[in-house]
Amino acid sequence: MSPRRLLVFLASLFLILTTFASANNVNLEFPTFTLRNLTLLGDSYLRGDGVVGLTRQLGVPSSSSGTAIYNKPVTFFDPESNTTASFSTRFSFSITNVNPSSFGDGLAFFLSPDNQTLGSPGGYLGLVNRSQFTKNKFLAIEFDTRLDSLFGDPNDNHVGLDIESLKSIDTADPILQDIDLKSGISITAWIDYKNDKQELNVSLSYSKTKPENPILSVNFDLSDHLKEVMYLGFSASTEGSTELHLIENWRFSTFGFVPARPRSRPHNVSENTVTVMPEIPVSNSSNKHHNKIGFGLGIAGPAFFCVVLAVFGYVTVRKWRGIRTQMSFKAELLAGPREFNYKELNSATKGFHSSRILGHGAFGTVYKAFFTSSATGGTIAAVKRSKHSHEGKTEFLAELSIIAGLRHKNLVQLQGWCVAKSELLLVYDFMPNGSLDKVLYQESGQGTSLHWSHRLNIAVGLASVLTYLHQECEQQVIHRDIKTGNVLLDGGFNPRLGDFGLAKLMDHDKSPVSTLTAGTMGYLAPEYLQYGKATEKTDVFSYGVVILEVACGRRPIEREPDSMKMVNLVDWVWGLHTQGKVIEAADARLNGEFKEEEMRKLLLVGLSCANPDSAARPTMRRVLQILNNEAEPLFVPKIKPTFSFSYGLPLSLEDIVSDGEECESPNSMREIIID
């Protein structure tokens, strides 16, 4: 074969291989869910049993919105063959409620060209934004549990087809087939769309057997709304409700696509055709030349291979150090958090410009990031950035390994990470209302003050997540730095606990290990100061201080306005409790707009958690039960217990305080009395 013919042959082969692409039908099946294939937005979370919760699980009414999206886009239209796919999906869900009279709003299965779909709570079902009503594009089947006249709902128990609007194309009442969406019983739904018939059917059953007749049948051509690729997912929302929405399993498939044909013979290739390359004739006159080429290739082939191997080895050795740094913790991460490109993060933060700084912490600086790429779709995130150092790297790996393995609606969601240019970076969901301390202590007249319902919700949410960390994880997690600055607030003022740089993983059956005392003054338990041992009870103490801050609107340690005297919040509240006037500790900015019984309970829970005697403090599970009215409050003594100990600290208080407060170094041995 002549060199020219060889070149033509290779070019033809390349052309045929690149054009012989086919639009693939998709088959997905999730008996249970993992983080490997899902993106969870808003308040959605993954339970330990592999069930996805879309809205917050609280004993008190709240507003919530959550979305779960399959990570990869699915092809619904093949421009090569001008074919729109048919599709079929089956999933099981349940809608439960601890308070049956507090219902609404429902859930939806949706298709969207956007993988960052997260709408507003309430009747918006997490599909559209209240302020940008027409921004989100979607096709959805809603399972609505509230009658909302704004969207023309027929009743509070209906199924509807929604296309880029929450005013349904058509609806049906499942009760006609004895299906109550709010029953709390697991319901299986089937959604089938046949493009050739332009027909969509929705079926429901309490069993796994598909009923003969659908609940909802709509004749509608979806081809104009099914884009080339779209994302699949579920969303749900509540507003002033305790309704909980769970997705238990899911199966989805597309069908109707056929393989694309080679362009040279587009109408003569069936699905079973095997393409055979035509034999290229070789004349006898060129045999000698052919042999020469073969001989040359025989020599050049191995030589080329050696060159490629040498280049690969050079690049590998050059990058080995950076790879080795990442390999030390990559294996410990779940598949959920993605590895970001440094260039992408640098661009999203305007080169880590000072105008994008949200705050500073023990780990480093936090920046606001705007992502405009097609992969992230105009989203906002928070990026923690730290230079390489022994301490920074240790905290970075701690935060990665811990947060990547945890899932709770009141934890800050980790989106991803990056190690590059001697920097360590973590990417989190952006919390629009910032940290609790900034909202709690903002200047009068600035921003939105925390109403009593928000404060009670924060107390319950923090108790829930600490119960999870202390008692429900495979390994117990001690946070060690619980404070209002590490509690972030989402758009609905729901709490999200973050900053796990100081956290420690422990087996439940092992005693706590001694660690270097770290944390923030005002939140540190007395026994932690003495022994430097972090236990779940030291977290309980810090939680108690945070709860007193939330109820009283005062910092843990404050200077009296008319004197130089420093006042400890726990001491101040306990003093009022001693006088029988604990309710006077309530934040004056609430203007008395709270239930006195709830305020008293919260203050006494705070005091019981901040008891100097660690043995007298409740567990976080008990605290959660008390706040949810499932257990009686603990007895709080009128006189604050006295705790005394002798200790030797080789450290200055600067070594103890994580945020760099300037304090005078104590003597090496000192008697401390805490009362």
Per-domain residue ranges of the chain? 24-255, 284-330, 338-429, 436-674
Is 475 in contact with 507 (CB distance < 8 Å)? Answer: yes
The answer to whether the CB of 671 falls within 8 A of the CB of 644 is yes
User: CB of 549 within 8 A of CB of 569?
Assistant: yes
pLDDT given for residue 467 in this prediction: 93
DSSP state letter for 73: -
Determine the pLDDT at residue 521: 75
Give CATH for domain 436-674. 1.10.510.10
Report the CATH fold assignment for 24-255.
Jelly Rolls (2.60.120)
Phi and psi at residue 285, to the nearest 5°: -70, -20
Separation of first and last alpha carbons in the chain: 96
**Residue 613 among the catalytic residues:** no
* Tokens 């934890």, located at residue: 411
| Proportion of the chain in helix, strand, coil states, percent, rounded to 5 | 30, 25, 45
Average pLDDT of each block of 10 consecutive residues along the chain (675 residues)?
Answer: 49 43 74 86 84 84 86 88 91 88 88 78 81 72 91 91 91 92 93 93 94 94 89 91 92 79 39 37 45 53 62 58 47 59 89 85 80 64 74 62 77 84 82 89 64 94 93 83 91 86 59 49 83 87 96 89 82 95 94 93 96 93 93 90 51 37 33 36
Contact 77, 195 (CB under 8 A): no
Contact 157/175 with Cβ under 8 angstroms?
A: yes
Q: What's the pTM value of the predicted model, to 2 decimals?
A: 0.50
Number of H helices, E strands in the chain: 12, 32
pLDDT of residue 386: 76
| Set 481, 490, 539, 587: catalytic member | 481
| Distance between CA atoms of residues 150 and 301, nearest Å | 72
> Is there a binding annotation on residue 384?
yes
401 closest CA partner among 485, 474, 536, 503: 503
Residue type at 86?
A: S
Which residues lie across from 29 on neighbouring strands?
A: 251
The residue type of 4 is: R
Contact between 33 and 51 under an 8 Å Cβ cutoff? The reply is yes
CA 223 to chain centre: 33
Q: What gap in Å lies between CA 508 and CA 474, rounded to an integer?
A: 8
Distances from the Cα of 580 to the Cα of 115, 263, 584, 626, angstroms: 55, 88, 9, 21
* CATH code for residues 338-429: 3.30.200.20
Q: Residue 92 is which amino acid?
A: S
Element (H, E) at 654: helix 653-656
Cα separation of 210 and 45, whole Å?
28
Query: Given its phi and psi angles, is residue 597 left (phi above 0), alpha (psi -120 to 50 degrees) or beta?
Result: alpha
Determine how many CB atoms are found less than 10 A away from the CB of residue 301. Answer: 10
CA dist 51 → 45, 54, 118, 119, 245 (Å): 9, 10, 20, 22, 10
